Amino acid sequence: MSQHDYNIADQNGLSLQSDLNSVFSAILSNNSGATEPTVKVAYQFWADTTTGILKQRNAANTAWINKSPLTSGGDAAYITNTPANNITSTNQQAVNNELDTLKVNASDTSYYQRSNILGTASQTAGVPTGAIIERGTNANGEYVRYADGTQVCTIKVDATGQAVTSATGSLFQAGSELTWTYPAVFIAAPSPSSVVVRNDASLVMGVYHRTVGTTTTTWRIWSSVSIAAGDVKDVYLTATGRWF
């Protein structure tokens, strides 16, 4: 342990040599001692033997900053300026262990993590309070609800039993209009986007929606040619809007 005031006084040869040796000893030992050095300057090191911590003076020369432990037992690591009840260890392995214990609990919904990214989306006054993504399925199709308020509803309809034979100008339409009740309710009328899939290059088919509401939409198939019931045709209905 060695400290010095770093003031080399005017003195004779042997005393000067002894004083210089004390200075070098203080430098080599990082001003080690049980109490802080009497002379302190910005960025100065102090090996505090009382606490077992290597400290460094801050830029303002007003306080000591903990840098690393003096004792053996692992790589040096000292966490400073952490909130109360957080990291307190000075040994690297101990720090890693404490970090593990600080991992967000799976039941804590204050943070998004793998355990709560998917779940029930919810909100209060427009602020998300639940999961980021909610996905559901029922007899009316599937829906995906996002934390930002976006909602997408889909359903695949087997329209094999529909005859598209009613002439309307130069096109043909199904004889009856069908109603799709969404699998999840929208807060306002969504935007429908639906298609008919049929492996036939000789015709053009589509779907039009006559009414669009927050819970249902009416739709009908149209075709460039007359198609009898029994022909294979799949209809994919989609509605995109907001749930809040």
pLDDT of 217 higher than 50: yes
Angle at the Cα of 200 from the Cα atoms of 199 and 206, rounded to 5 degrees: 85
Closest of 210, 223, 228 to residue 171, by C-alpha: 223
* Per-residue pLDDT reduced to its tens digit, 140-164: 999 999 999 999 999 999 998 899 9
Tokens matching residue 33: 């001692």
pLDDT at 107: 61
pLDDT at 144: 98
pLDDT at 232: 72
Supply φ then ψ for residue 110, to 5 degrees: -75, -20
Closest of 86, 7, 3, 87 to residue 48, by C-alpha: 3
Mean pLDDT, residues 10-34 taken together: 87
User: What CA–CA distances, in Å, run from 88 to 63, 73, 75, 79, 198?
Assistant: 19, 16, 15, 7, 67
Supply φ then ψ for residue 69, to 5 degrees: -75, 155
**HSE toward the beta carbon, residue 122, CA cutoff 13 A:** 7
DSSP state of 222: E
pLDDT at 233: 87
Torsion sign across C-alpha atoms 28, 33, 37, 41: positive
pLDDT of 207 higher than 80: yes
Mean pLDDT score across all residues of the chain: 86
pLDDT at 82: 45
Tokens matching residue 58: 């801050």
3-state SS assignment for residue 14: helix
> Tokens 């300026």 identify what position?
81
Q: Give the residue extent of every domain in the chain.
A: 13-101, 123-242
When mean pLDDT is compared across 36-45, 86-95, 157-166, the lowest value belongs to: 86-95
Asked if 164 contacts 172 with a C-beta cutoff of 8 angstroms, the reply is yes
User: Does the reported pTM lie above 0.75?
Assistant: no
When mean pLDDT is compared across 33-37, 95-99, 194-198, the lowest value belongs to: 95-99
pLDDT at 31: 92
Who has greater pLDDT, 172 or 88?
Answer: 172
What architecture (CATH level 2) is domain 123-242? Answer: Sandwich (2.60)
Asked if 98 contacts 90 with a C-beta cutoff of 8 angstroms, the reply is no
C-beta atoms surrounding 2 within 10 Å: 17
pLDDT at 110: 66
